[in-house]
Amino acid sequence: MEVKFNVRRFDPESTNNVPHFQEYQLEMDSSATVLDALIDIRENMDGTLSLRCSCRSAICGSCAMKINGEAGLACNTKIIDVQKKDGSEITIEPAGNLPVVKDLVVDFQPFWSKVKSVDPWLRPDGEEPETEYLAPDDDMLHLANVVSCILCGACVSDCTVLEVDDDFLGPAALAKSYRFVRDPRDDADETRLQQLNEPGGVWDCTRCMKCVEVCPKGVDPMGRIMNLRDRVMEAGYNNTNGARHANAFTDSVKHSGWLDELRLPIKSFGIFNIKAMISLIPTGVRAQLKGKRPPIFHKSIPGAENVRKIFEKVETRK
Ligand code: FES
């Protein structure tokens, strides 16, 4: 089958060192993957094209890139699955949110330094066992999906927070942190959770779901971040904007059946946080002018008692 690729090129050492797209057209087998095609291009059409790959089996994580605008493993993506019906070209770009070294190769240094910053190793206390540290099967089964992370960076590539905030630890590092927080052999929870409660930690995720959608291994980084939020709050770290926001959100829905958007930011920042209160004024004015100011008197919706019952049921199950 005939396939057209539109590949983003960038060579910092070339005279034409402005990122641009280059088209390639080639014949591929219908079972071929995107990586097969890129290797074919590099070997038979254009030896200057740079890309990373190793295992070709979705194990090493080195071939993560954007395929038609969404992160994925090139070796795990069949051309036939991403080719549009109109036969238009498949767009290939380097993974996002990381500096591009050349063409499809990105610099993973920022990625690794964030992963390293969460101490991705067991930190047990007490006496060393004579044989090995043992963990119950159920705990390890629970961690099975997180442990299967291959650190390909797909989640980081498409994280919408990292697009605007370099300080965010990001989905890969946070999921890795969860793996150790949840491991019964680890005794450093307090230090870990304290770090995760800081700016750039668990509260900066906006729950856009992109990391969940693009993860090729079902790690569910966003779900892990939400679990970490619970852990952080259970550990008593309730005095942050994020924790207050989560509590105010829950209280509002539990009480009235819907969200009190007027009081949510006030309760999240804290009424005595004068600076934050003043910063909210322009948003309030804009909302008022557009007719989108939430009601001052927040009334319960019909059937709010049923919502309360759901909360009670879930709370007694804990
Ligand atoms: Fe190893 Fe794609 S080449 S994951």
pLDDT band at 244, cuts 50/70/90? very high
Inform me whether the pLDDT recorded for 248 exceeds 90.
yes
Confidence at residue 88, expressed as pLDDT on a 0 to 100 scale: 81
Alpha-carbon Rg for the chain in angstroms: 24
Q: Residue 25 is inside which H or E element, if any? A: strand 20-27
Query: Atom of ligand 1 at shortest distance to CA of 152?
Result: 4
Inform me whether the pLDDT recorded for 87 exceeds 80.
no
Query: Atom of ligand 1 at shortest distance to CA of 56?
Result: 3
Confidence at residue 75, expressed as pLDDT on a 0 to 100 scale: 98
User: Residue range 227-231: average pLDDT?
Assistant: 96
Confidence at residue 14, expressed as pLDDT on a 0 to 100 scale: 87
Inform me whether the pLDDT recorded for 86 exceeds 90.
no
pLDDT band at 37, cuts 50/70/90? very high
Query: Atom of ligand 1 at shortest distance to CA of 75?
Result: 2
Q: How far is the CA of 150 from the centre of ligand 1 (A)?
A: 10
Inform me whether the pLDDT recorded for 16 exceeds 80.
no
Residues with CB under 6 A from ligand 1: 53-56, 58-63, 73, 75
Nearest Cα neighbor of 307 from 246, 227, 251 is: 251
Give the tokens for residue 312: 């009670």
Inform me whether the pLDDT recorded for 249 exceeds 90.
yes
Q: Sign of the C-alpha dihedral, residues 216, 168, 12, 17?
A: positive
Q: How far is the CA of 73 from the centre of ligand 1 (A)?
A: 7
Most ligand 1 atoms within 8 A of CB, residue of 34, 53, 78 to mutate: 53
**pLDDT tens, 258-304?**
999 999 989 998 888 888 889 989 998 999 999 998 889 999 999 99
Inform me whether the pLDDT recorded for 252 exceeds 90.
yes
Contacts 24+ apart (CB under 8 A), 254-258: 254/307, 254/308, 254/311, 255/300, 255/304, 255/308, 256/298, 256/299, 256/300, 256/301, 256/304, 257/300, 257/301, 257/303, 257/304, 257/306, 257/307, 257/308, 258/301, 258/304
Q: How far is the CA of 274 from the centre of ligand 1 (A)?
A: 51
CA distances from 288 to 134, 261, 292, 296 (A): 59, 13, 6, 12
Q: How far is the CA of 309 from the centre of ligand 1 (A)?
A: 48
Query: Atom of ligand 1 at shortest distance to CA of 54?
Result: 3
Query: Atom of ligand 1 at shortest distance to CA of 58?
Result: 4
Confidence at residue 209, expressed as pLDDT on a 0 to 100 scale: 97
Confidence at residue 271, expressed as pLDDT on a 0 to 100 scale: 82
User: Residue range 103-112: average pLDDT?
Assistant: 98
| CATH 3.40.50.1240, applies to 2-106 | no
Domain ranges of the chain: 2-106, 109-126+134-234, 252-317
Q: What percent of the chain has pLDDT over 90?
A: 85
**pLDDT tens, 167-201?**
999 999 999 999 999 999 999 999 999 999 999 99
Confidence at residue 199, expressed as pLDDT on a 0 to 100 scale: 92
**pLDDT tens, 125-184?**
988 899 999 999 999 999 999 999 999 999 999 999 999 999 999 999 999 999 999 999
Most ligand 1 atoms within 8 A of CB, residue of 75, 108, 157, 214 to mutate: 75
What CATH architecture is 109-126+134-234? Orthogonal Bundle (1.10)
Q: Report the alpha-carbon distance of residue 298 to residue 248 in Å, rounded.
A: 14
pLDDT band at 317, cuts 50/70/90? confident
Inform me whether the pLDDT recorded for 310 exceeds 80.
yes
**0.75 exceeded by pTM:** yes
pLDDT band at 82, cuts 50/70/90? very high
Inform me whether the pLDDT recorded for 17 exceeds 90.
no
